[in-house]
Every structure is written in C-alpha cells, then in structure tokens.
Structure 1
Amino acid sequence: MALPDGFQLPTGFVIDRLMRVAAGRWTELYGELGIGKPALIVLVALATEGPLRQARLSEQTRIDRATLVALLNELESHDLARRAPDPADRRAHAVSITDAGRALLVRAAELEARDDFFAALTARERATFDALLGRLLAAHGG
C-alpha cells in the first residue's frame, strides 16, 4: 500500500513498529544470556544508578515491588546482584550489582554488537541515534 504524497508516518508509529521488531531480536539475546528482560532492566539500573533501595529500584525500573522481590531473589541466586541493609536505614535494603552482573552486561553489549539490527546505520549515525534516545529517555523519566 503506497502512502499519499507528502504523508509521513507519525514518529510514534515508527518507534512502536521498530520496538516490536527489536523486541523479538532482544528476546533471543536474553536467551543467550540466560536471563529475562526484566532482569536485564534491573542490572542496567543498578549499574548506572546503584546501589538503590528496593523501593527506589521499583520506581526506577517500573517493576512492581512484589515482582521485584522475586526477581532480586533470582538475581542473587546467580550472584548477579546483592541486597544488604541500607547503612542510612537498616530497615531498608540497598541493592547493588556484583562483578558477575557487570560481566553479564558486558556480554550483552558484545552480543548486541554482533547483531546486524543496526547494520543500516553507520557508526556515526548509531552514536547519534543512541545519544538522541538517551536524551528522550532522560526527559521522560526513564
């Protein structure tokens, strides 16, 4: 189906379509890493913002608290994250990423680099794309 002259697809529509294509690709990536998407989201948050109290981690990742507890149990069982009493408030727990968790994020970046999903972009375009996405994400509380 051809688009009418001068018609441009809405940016939100294009982002949504691209997200759906990418989601399938990254599901395979998570499978190679042996973790799910929510676990990777938590590890990235801990690597960039951590250590974080569980309540703040729940807000940051938009993962409800009950689900987060189960997820942290799984991450701890694989030595990817660690909970400890928060020094500022011993009733709360601070969650941090472990060296093994950081190594897993490095492996994720290596797997992504091998993927041809971004092959249509030059290295410079990819850097610009990543920077723009980062700005949008920061502007919208992501």
Structure 2
Amino acid sequence: MTSRARIEHMDDHTGYLIIKVAGMAVPAFERALVPLGLNTRQVRVLGFLHGESLSQAELCARTGLDRTTMVAVLDELEQLGHATRERSKSDRRKHVVRITRNGKAAYAKATKKLLRAQEELLQPLAPAERAQLHTLLSRLFDASQACAPEPAAEAVS
C-alpha cells in the first residue's frame, strides 16, 4: 500500500498495525520478566551495561530514557544488586554505572525469557519472514536514529 492510498479501515494502516503489535509485545515481555523481578526498562539498561561502564547521561542517550526515569531505574537496579553507581575518577561531575556479577547473571536469564516471549509473539511467521521483519524494523529504526537530533551535552550526569 502506498502512503497516498486511501485507507478504508484502520487495519489497512501500517502505523496502526505497528502500534497494535507493540501493544501485544510489551505486556508479553513484561510478563516474561516477572519471575525474575525485573522489567523491560531494567533489562534494557543492563543490556547496555553488559559490555561496558557508562555514565548516566550516556545511558540516557543510548536507551532513550529521560534523566528522571533513568535515576529511578538505576535506583531499582542498585537495590536488586544488579548495578552500581559511583563518581567518575576522571570527572567528579559524572556518575559511572557498572553492571555487577549478579546483574550479568540476571541479564542472561532475562534474555532467555525474552527470546521465548519473542518466539511466541512471532510464532505465526516463518523463519524467513521473521528475518525479513527484523531487517525491515532495523532499517526503520536506524533511519529514525540518523534523523534524531543529537542529545544536548550536559555538564552533570
């Protein structure tokens, strides 16, 4: 369907279908994480910390979470023993966030549960269709990131 075509029903609108599928995916992924005492925001942050230590500002930029939400997520991750925050030795204005050994283990368990939930969500699609969907969604996401304005540099993170 071209973008100029007349839409007779909402189900014919690609944007509507994206919203509806996202509306199915988010609760499924959240439910999958309940046994671990985690949520998707926490797992997203752990995923970005899995390979490196980052400042809170860098985490905000990479995850798309605002500063207030990031502070709350990091508070939760610290309480769970999955991450630590400390002042940067090179720049005392920054907080550096690190994943803990427990955080790495929790992330590994979470990704397994999320992959199972994803498998259930995508079950109606053949493997080649799943790969194609991933490729197309990645292209849309990458294009949106290329157009996104650079986050403002912040003195305090």
TM-score of the aligned structures, taking structure 1 as reference length: 0.77
Tell me: CA distance 1:139–1:26, structure 2 relative to 1, closer, same or farther (3 Å): same
Among 7, 10, 26, the alignment partner of 2:29 is: 26
Task: Give the CA RMSD over aligned residues.
Answer: 2.7
Residue ranges of structure 1 left out of the alignment (5+ in a row): none
Q: Secondary structure at the match of 2:92?
A: strand
Aligned partner letter, 2:111: A
Match of residue 76 from structure 1: 78
Give the distance between the partners of 1:107 and 1:88, measured in 2 at CA: 34
Q: Does residue 94 of structure 1 match 2:101? A: no
Aligned partner letter, 1:71: V
Tell me: CA distance 1:82–1:138, structure 2 relative to 1, closer, same or farther (3 Å): farther
Residues 93-126 of structure 1: CA deviation (Å, up to 9, x unaligned):
1112223223222222222333321111233332
Tell me: CA distance 1:23–1:79, structure 2 relative to 1, closer, same or farther (3 Å): same
- Deviation at residue 34 of structure 1 after TM alignment: 0.8
- Deviation at residue 8 of structure 1 after TM alignment: 7.5
Match of residue 127 from structure 1: 131
Residue ranges of structure 2 left out of the alignment (5+ in a row): 1-6, 149-157
Tell me: CA distance 1:114–1:62, structure 2 relative to 1, closer, same or farther (3 Å): closer
Give the distance between the partners of 2:143 and 2:90, measured in 1 at CA: 29
Aligned partner letter, 1:10: H
Q: Does residue 41 of structure 1 match 2:44? A: yes
Aligned partner letter, 1:43: L
Q: Which range moves more in the overlay, 60-69 or 21-30?
A: 60-69
Match of residue 20 from structure 2: 17
Q: Which range moves more in the overlay, 101-110 or 20-29?
A: 101-110
% of aligned pairs identical? 33
Q: Which range moves more in the overlay, 36-45 or 7-16?
A: 7-16
Q: Secondary structure at the match of 2:50?
A: helix
TM-score of the aligned structures, taking structure 2 as reference length: 0.71
Q: Which range moves more in the overlay, 94-103 or 25-34?
A: 94-103
- Deviation at residue 20 of structure 1 after TM alignment: 0.7
